[in-house]
Chain A
């Protein structure tokens, strides 16, 4: 059974800082890993999806890396802005033949203050 853990649970930083969110998963036999963003009272929005054959993906100020052997992924946010404040969730496939079924971490609540 896949288990996903995110550290830290919450993070508060001043605007402009570079920051790293961590995600670990127990079953490394995954075909991809995803990072989502959730704003208060809203649904989830996909940020980045890393295929198992890739080591990282970039979108603007966001960079996500994947190390299957160690069961870890990181989300790097450069030059953080107040608009980045949200909850960030990591999701890994549940494992086995459950194609498309995701297991989510508890999330990291990010606050970027001006």
Chain B
């Protein structure tokens, strides 16, 4: 399996622009997570989906952030409008739902810089 795939790997944009991050989970995994990592705050969970349904979005910082999972093989995280404080590495992870012994598998991340 190719693992969790994220695109783009790097994104540089200007403040106020819309940013869309994409994720393809591992085939067969039905739980998907979006994380943000910064030096100051570490790794934070933004939102997660089970069977394409958002379960917990309490980590989404504000209304500028939105996430969708239209099907089992694709998810997007959108920031509109972007701000310099959104600069971070955004990770997507997936796992098989319902297995306590199953870990999460992380993608390589998208490094976002908002100027």
CA distance A42 to B91 in the complex (A): 10
Which chain B residues in 19-56 approach chain A with CB under 8 Å?
Answer: 31, 33, 42-43, 45, 48, 50, 56
CA distance A32 to B101 in the complex (A): 8
Is chain B's binding surface mostly helix, strand, loop or mixed? Answer: strand
In which size bucket is the chain B interface? 20 to 34
In which size bucket is the chain A interface? 20 to 34
Stretch at the interface among A44-52, A58-66, A78-86: A44-52
CB contact between B108 and one of A32, A43, A94 (< 8 Å): that residue: A43
Chain B residues within 8 Å of A44, by CB: 43, 91, 93, 104, 106
B103 touches A51 (CB 8 A): no
B106 touches A49 (CB 8 A): no
CA distance A43 to B103 in the complex (A): 14
| Min distance, Cβ A39 to any Cβ of chain B, angstroms | 11
Known: A43-B91, A43-B109, A44-B91. A104 touches B103 (CB 8 A): no
CB contact between A101 and one of B4, B45, B108, B109 (< 8 Å): that residue: B45
A 72-112 binary contact with B (CB < 8 Å = 1; else 0)? 00000000000000000100001000101111111100000
CB contact between A46 and one of B48, B91, B104 (< 8 Å): that residue: B104
In the complex, A22 has a CB within 8 A of chain B: no
Chain B residues within 8 Å of A31, by CB: 100
Chain A residues within 8 Å of B91, by CB: 43-44
CA distance A16 to B104 in the complex (A): 30
Known: A100-B48, A101-B48. A106 touches B42 (CB 8 A): yes
B101 touches A43 (CB 8 A): no
In the complex, A34 has a CB within 8 A of chain B: yes
CA distance A105 to B41 in the complex (A): 10
Q: Which A residue sits closest to B45, measured CB to CB?
A: A101
CA distance A34 to B95 in the complex (A): 14
In the complex, B105 has a CB within 8 A of chain A: yes
The 5 A-B pairs with the shortest beta carbon distances in the complex, nearest first, are A43-B106, A46-B103, A104-B43, A44-B106, A106-B42
**Contact surface of A with B, Cβ cutoff 8 Å:** 31-32, 34, 36, 41-46, 49, 51, 89, 94, 98, 100-107
